[in-house]
């Protein structure tokens, strides 16, 4: 009798759990699944709770009873975007010296949650946050994972590691003085639970110090992201085994010099022998479009970057970018702009594997706009095929971060991180500036082009 009672209780529990499960079917759209093959017309995607359970077409995959049907007719459906170079501690303010002091105590509860929700509602369901104080970084990431905050799945680096922090940045830039300290900093970050190590100015460290950073990171299973602003920084990074370079760099120089290109080709030729492809995140759009923004700053007036920020924060950011032409940060940019296409093409020719990332959060680069702007420049102005660009914003980032079996594609077993737009993205990629549907982990945050405000906490709503 006791066994029967127990079995009945289990059965009732299972029934209750089954009733509580969220079952949705996305039906009718053209699916780009992230694998690089032909798009799938009239697609059907079945989602149960936070996972994709089946993918097919209206002819091959009937929608079972009990599923909420969401029409994606006339839409392009694809994996949620990745933003591989974001700064959640920044929101577009143009005066870092002021921002770093005035907002240090507001990062965890205001600034970084606002950045996160802005990225999510723009269709970015995963982001890599490169450089911020350790505790706020971990707190925001973990609260998102726990469902307490809406935002992308986050991979965080915590503080930069470099030879010497710039004055006033010690909270999120850790200096290195000797091999022992280099290893200690990496161990501290690894044991705290960061997902990646970011080092900058590696050419200004001793070879032993910079190598210790990479060796210690790899010993803890962490990949290393490094800057590429100077030829020596790139050469050193290649020598010590940096996994992913950031930016195009080399300021106003017209191109990468021959010895750098030779070193890059030598590295890409080794492939798996050196631990896999050499990844590069060029973060090109902020420089590419600066003059357009300076001469026609209308896009800065959007209120999408206001979400989650206090009124005084919004006013402070707005006044800091009121005169884009006067920003010291951007004075060299017009001279750098003319070098970008050549450097970008050199990187492609060298065989590096490019990733979509934007430096989101730097002056005038708002989280609600930055990722689609990068995609637009790659495809419309730099000639990268749209499918290749989409894979650089979905599949390849998941491979780099080692989660390609969990998300980054639309296939059974993966997390239901799915976006959709009205129209044909392969022909008109700038449609991604207005993502009409955003689902992350089975929860719908944008539907029919409107934010589902009820899916957000009150502090992040705009009602």
Distance, in Å, from the CA atom of 303 to the CA atom of 400, rounded to the nearest integer, reads 33
Which token pair is 192? Answer: 């705290």
Helix/strand/coil percent split, the chain, to 5: 45, 20, 40
61-81 pLDDT, tens digit each: 999 999 999 999 999 999 999
Looking at the structure, do residues 134 and 222 belong to the same domain, yes or no?
yes
CATH of the domain at 303: 3.20.20.140
What is the distance between the terminal CA atoms of the chain, rounded to a whole angstrom?
56
Sequence length of the chain is: 463
Is pLDDT of 162 > 70? yes
Looking at the structure, do residues 375 and 351 belong to the same domain, yes or no?
yes
| Enclosing domain of residue 273 | 81-401
Looking at the structure, do residues 64 and 90 belong to the same domain, yes or no?
no
Q: With 0-12 CB in 10 A as exposed, 13-18 as middle and 19+ as buried, what is 65? A: exposed
Distance, in Å, from the CA atom of 180 to the CA atom of 78, rounded to the nearest integer, reads 46
The bridge status of strand 244-246 relative to strand 223-227 is parallel
Looking at the structure, do residues 66 and 86 belong to the same domain, yes or no?
no
Distance, in Å, from the CA atom of 461 to the CA atom of 455, rounded to the nearest integer, reads 9
Looking at the structure, do residues 74 and 86 belong to the same domain, yes or no?
no
Which among 360, 382, 401 is the end of a domain?
401
Instruction: Find out whether 277 and 353 touch, Cβ atoms under 8 Å.
Output: yes
Confidence (pLDDT) at 19: 39
Looking at the structure, do residues 70 and 86 belong to the same domain, yes or no?
no
Helices (H), 254-339: 258-270, 285-288, 290-295, 311-320, 333-337
Q: Does pTM top 0.85 for this prediction?
A: yes
The stretch 387-393 carries a mean pLDDT of: 98
Q: Please report which confidence band the pLDDT of residue 7 belongs to, taking 50, 70 and 90 as the band edges.
A: very low
Looking at the structure, do residues 234 and 297 belong to the same domain, yes or no?
yes
Which token pair is 69? Answer: 């049907």
Asked whether residue 11 is domain-assigned, the answer is no
Asked whether residue 252 is domain-assigned, the answer is yes
347-371 pLDDT, tens digit each: 999 999 999 999 999 999 999 999 9
Confidence (pLDDT) at 461: 96
What is the number of structural domains in the chain? 2
Cβ neighbour number for residue 49 with a 10 Å cutoff: 14
Q: Please report which confidence band the pLDDT of residue 4 belongs to, taking 50, 70 and 90 as the band edges.
A: very low
Q: Which of 77, 145, 151 is nearest to 119 (CA)?
A: 151
Looking at the structure, do residues 246 and 169 belong to the same domain, yes or no?
yes
Q: Which residues, at least 6 apart from 217, have a Cβ–Cβ distance to it below 8 Å?
A: 186, 190, 197, 223, 224
Confidence (pLDDT) at 271: 87
Owner of token pair 């970018």: 321
Asked whether residue 4 is domain-assigned, the answer is no
Confidence (pLDDT) at 273: 83
Looking at the structure, do residues 337 and 191 belong to the same domain, yes or no?
yes
Asked whether residue 17 is domain-assigned, the answer is no
Is pLDDT of 21 > 90? no
C-alpha to C-alpha distances, 350 to 111, 246, 278, 339, 383, nearest whole angstrom: 38, 15, 10, 17, 16
CA geometry: angle at 248 spanning 247 and 253, to 5°?
145
CATH of the domain at 61: 2.30.40.10
120-156 pLDDT, tens digit each: 999 999 999 999 999 999 999 999 999 999 999 999 9
Q: Which residues, at least 6 apart from 409, have a Cβ–Cβ distance to it below 8 Å?
A: 33, 34, 35, 79, 394, 395, 398
Looking at the structure, do residues 298 and 433 belong to the same domain, yes or no?
no
Element housing 226 (H / E)? strand 223-227
Asked whether residue 377 is domain-assigned, the answer is yes
Is pLDDT of 272 > 90? no
């Amino acid at each position: 009798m006791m066994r029967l009672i127990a079995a009945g209780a289990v059965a009732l529990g299972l029934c209750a759990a089954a009733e509580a499960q969220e079952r949705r079917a996305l039906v009718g759209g053209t699916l780009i699944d992230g694998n690089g093959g032909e798009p799938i017309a009239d697609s059907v995607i079945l989602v149960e709770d936070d996972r994709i359970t089946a993918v097919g077409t209206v002819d091959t995959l009937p929608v079972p009873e009990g599923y909420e049907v969401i029409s994606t007719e006339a839409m392009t459906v694809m994996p949620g975007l990745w933003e591989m170079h974001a700064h959640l501690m920044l929101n577009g303010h143009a005066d870092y010296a002021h921002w770093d002091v005035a907002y240090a105590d507001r990062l965890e509860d205001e600034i970084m949650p606002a950045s996160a929700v802005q990225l999510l509602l723009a269709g970015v369901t995963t982001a890599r946050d490169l450089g911020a104080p350790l505790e706020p970084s971990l707190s925001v990431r973990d609260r998102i994972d726990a469902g307490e905050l809406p935002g992308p799945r986050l991979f965080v680096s915590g503080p930069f590691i470099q030879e010497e922090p710039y004055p006033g940045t010690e909270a999120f830039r850790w200096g290195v003085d000797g091999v022992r300290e280099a290893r200690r900093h990496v161990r501290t970050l690894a044991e705290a639970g960061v997902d990646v190590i970011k080092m900058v100015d590696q050419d200004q460290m001793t070879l032993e110090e910079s190598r210790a950073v990479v060796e210690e990171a790899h010993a803890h299973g962490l990949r290393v992201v490094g800057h590429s602003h100077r030829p020596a920084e790139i050469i050193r990074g290649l020598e010590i085994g940096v996994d992913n370079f950031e930016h195009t760099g080399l300021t106003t120089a017209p191109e990468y010099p021959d010895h750098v290109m030779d070193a890059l080709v030598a590295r890409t030729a080794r492939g798996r022998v050196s631990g896999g492809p050499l990844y590069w995140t060029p973060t090109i759009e902020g420089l590419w479009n600066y003059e357009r923004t300076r001469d026609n700053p209308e896009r800065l007036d959007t209120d999408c970057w206001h979400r989650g920020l206090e009124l005084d924060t919004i006013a402070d950011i707005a006044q800091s970018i009121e005169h884009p032409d006067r920003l010291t940060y951007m004075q060299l940019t017009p001279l750098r702009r003319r070098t970008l296409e050549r450097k970008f093409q050199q990187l492609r020719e060298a065989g590096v594997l490019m990733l979509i990332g934007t430096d989101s959060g730097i002056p005038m680069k708002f989280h609600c706009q930055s990722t689609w702007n990068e995609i637009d420049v790659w495809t419309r102005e730099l000639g990268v095929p749209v499918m290749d660009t989409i894979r650089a914003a979905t599949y390849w980032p998941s491979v780099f971060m080692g989660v390609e079996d969990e998300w980054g594609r639309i296939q059974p077993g993966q997390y239901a991180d799915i976006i959709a737009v009205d129209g044909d993205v392969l022909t008109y990629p700038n449609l991604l500036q207005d993502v009409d549907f955003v689902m992350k982990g089975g929860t719908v945050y944008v539907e029919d082009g409107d934010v589902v405000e009820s899916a957000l906490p009150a502090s992040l709503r705009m009602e």
